[in-house]
Amino acid sequence: MKQTQALASDSTWTEKDAGELPGSPFVRIGSLWMLISAGDGPSGDWNTMTASWGGLGVLWRKNVAFVFVRPGRRTVEYMNGDGQFSLSFFDEEYRGALEFCGANSGRDYDKAEKTGLHPVYFKDGTLGFAEAQDVLSCRKLYTHDFDPAGFLDPAIDKDCYPDKDYHRLFIGEITAYRTRRR
């Protein structure tokens, strides 16, 4: 299903150094969650999904974000095809919207229409949302499919993958950090 056409971002966004991103990534990703987005915003050919697994750090002398997407998610199609993706971080008041984006497929719903979120695209072509507090734009550097033979703790396979739908890892260089002017 086509998604709502994204509009160009406006002057409410300020670009900063990624090292200035506030807050603990354990809280921002693991507790507050984020939206992973990829695709072509202006045409409406994009998707987003909620994630609570991922991280931020330094790898290959670059500031990076790493995210995990299950193969059955529509977003993985865009992540596989696009050279970039974005991570949008929200305040707690948007929990309901993030719950919807995590529990429903873009194959069935226009997620922006259903949640009231307003997609925007930035000059580099990455997507964000007008309601987000912070958006990280990332250039895809590496992908890898999880192999259950590599799990050293058998409980991970048993507890996290009962359907054997192992995640694909995406590592992206953080090319821009944008924050909404508060």
Average pLDDT in the chain: 93
CA 41 centroid distance within chain: 14
C-alpha–C-alpha distance, residues 3 and 112, integer Å: 7
AA letter at 74? R
**pLDDT at residue 70, as a whole number:** 94
**pLDDT at residue 7, as a whole number:** 67
Q: How many CA atoms lie within 13 A of 167 on its CB side?
A: 17
- pTM for this prediction: 0.94
Domain 7-180: CATH superfamily, name plus number? Electron Transport, Fmn-binding Protein; Chain A (2.30.110.10)
Q: Is 172 helix (H, G, I), strand (E, B) or coil?
A: strand
Tens digit of each residue's pLDDT (9 = 90 or more) over 62-118: 999 999 999 999 999 999 998 999 999 999 999 999 999 999 998 999 999 999 999
C-alpha–C-alpha distance, residues 31 and 73, integer Å: 21
Please give the angle made by the CA atoms of 165, 86 and 76, to the nearest 5 degrees.
25
Q: CA 160, 165, 166, 171 torsion: positive or negative?
A: negative
Mean pLDDT, residues 148-169 taken together: 96
Mean pLDDT, residues 167-178 taken together: 97
93: tokens are: 């008041």
C-alpha–C-alpha distance, residues 170 and 172, integer Å: 6
Characterize the bridge pairing of strands 127-129 and 13-16. unpaired
